[in-house]
Chain A
Amino acid sequence: MAAKNRLTPAPGQFGRLYRGREGQWAWVLHRVTGVGIILFLFAHVVDTAVIGWGPEAYNRVLSVYHNPGVQLLELVLVGMVIYHAVNGVRIMLLDFWPKASLYQARLWYATLVIVLGAMVPVTWVIGRAIIRDL
């Protein structure tokens, strides 16, 4: 079982640092973005719940999102969600279609192209809002 194997690691088996290639970077980014998104979600559930305390409290909390620095973080968050989603599709292709493994490196570059392509209009929209609020 996978969970049992995690308890008995073999340290140093692969040297000090495992330097992988495309799949390794896809995996690292998937983790980093996943942890980033869930930590934001914890805060986001709380700030949304403030609506139950009325318009004054809610609008005061939401004014945080109009701060240009926070909007920059918002842009990063949107990028993390888009990457996690597109790379999630790549993972499922590899999981449910064994032949996709033959093209795994190309699938990673396709993931990058789709994410960066999507980030162009997103950066345009949120970037304009940031400049407006500076």
Chain B
Amino acid sequence: MALRTGNRFKGPTVRGTVTGRERPAGGYELGSWLFMRISGILLLVLAVGHVLIMHVLGGGVERVDFKFVELRWQSPFWRAWDWLMLSLALLHGVNGLRVVILDYVRRPGPRFALTWFFTVVGVILFALGTIIVFTFNPANFPTT
């Protein structure tokens, strides 16, 4: 995929050949790099779609209430959408925080503590969201 250029190119080159952006050589960081891109493509549909549907189109967030979610979650399609989005967004976001922490927190102790703090928050919220998405049953609240 390399490309020869003259002097116009200011980015990474090897002997005049454009190499594109750097990427990790292997191991965990390459897996992380790949995951951010794959989940990014999926979130492009899931999260941007979610934002447009819930916040912009059809009356925005003002129409959202218990009844709205009750109707919406009658469909397994929307439950699956929301759960997949929850999982990917938390993984993508917490991994993003890990990368940012690696850049700005240099002392090993605080770096370790912060990374694990956000990982634990992510795991707890993933568990909470998963339980709600899979077990929510409006029949538990008969007054509505």
By a beta-carbon cutoff of 8 Å, the part of chain A in contact with chain B is 1-3, 6-7, 9, 31, 34-35, 37-38, 41-42, 45-46, 48-49, 51-52, 54-55, 58-59, 62, 65-66, 71, 74, 78, 81-82, 85, 88-89, 91-92, 94-102, 104, 121-122, 125-126, 129, 133
Tell yes or no: B61 within 8 A of A by CB.
Answer: yes
**Extra 7 A-B pairs, beta carbons < 8 Å, given A62-B61, A89-B44:** A1-B27, A31-B100, A49-B129, A55-B66, A88-B44, A95-B20, A126-B55
- Would you mind naming 27 contact pairs between A and B with Cβ atoms under 8 Å apart? A35-B96, A35-B100, A38-B96, A41-B90, A42-B121, A45-B86, A45-B129, A46-B128, A49-B128, A54-B66, A54-B141, A55-B65, A59-B66, A74-B55, A81-B47, A85-B44, A88-B40, A88-B44, A91-B21, A92-B37, A94-B20, A98-B2, A98-B18, A98-B19, A122-B56, A125-B56, A133-B62
Tell yes or no: B80 within 8 A of A by CB.
Answer: no
Q: Which of B20, B24, B37, B106 has the most C-beta atoms of chain A within 10 angstroms of its own C-beta?
A: B20
Q: Is the interface of A mostly helix, strand, loop or mixed?
A: helix
Min CB gap B47→A, angstroms:
6
* A34 CB contact (under 8 Å) in B2, B26, B96, B106: B96
- Complex Cα distance, B48 from A122, in Å, reads 12
By a beta-carbon cutoff of 8 Å, the part of chain B in contact with chain A is 1-3, 5, 8-9, 11-12, 18-29, 37, 40-41, 43-44, 47-48, 51, 55-57, 60-62, 64-67, 69, 86, 89-90, 93-94, 96-97, 100, 102-103, 106, 121, 125, 128-129, 131-132, 135-136, 140-141, 143-144
Specify which chain A residues have a CB less than 8 angstroms from the CB of B141 in the assembled complex: 54-55
Min CB gap A72→B, angstroms:
12
Q: Are A104 and B11 in contact (CB under 8 A)?
A: yes
Specify which chain B residues have a CB less than 8 angstroms from the CB of A34 in the assembled complex: 93, 96, 100
Min CB gap A58→B, angstroms:
5
Q: Which of A34, A49, A98 has the most C-beta atoms of chain B within 10 angstroms of its own C-beta?
A: A98
Specify which chain A residues have a CB less than 8 angstroms from the CB of B25 in the assembled complex: 1-2
Q: Which of A7, A51, A62 has the most C-beta atoms of chain B within 10 angstroms of its own C-beta?
A: A51
- Complex Cα distance, B32 from A110, in Å, reads 27
- Complex Cα distance, B26 from A111, in Å, reads 30
Specify which chain A residues have a CB less than 8 angstroms from the CB of B48 in the assembled complex: 81-82, 85
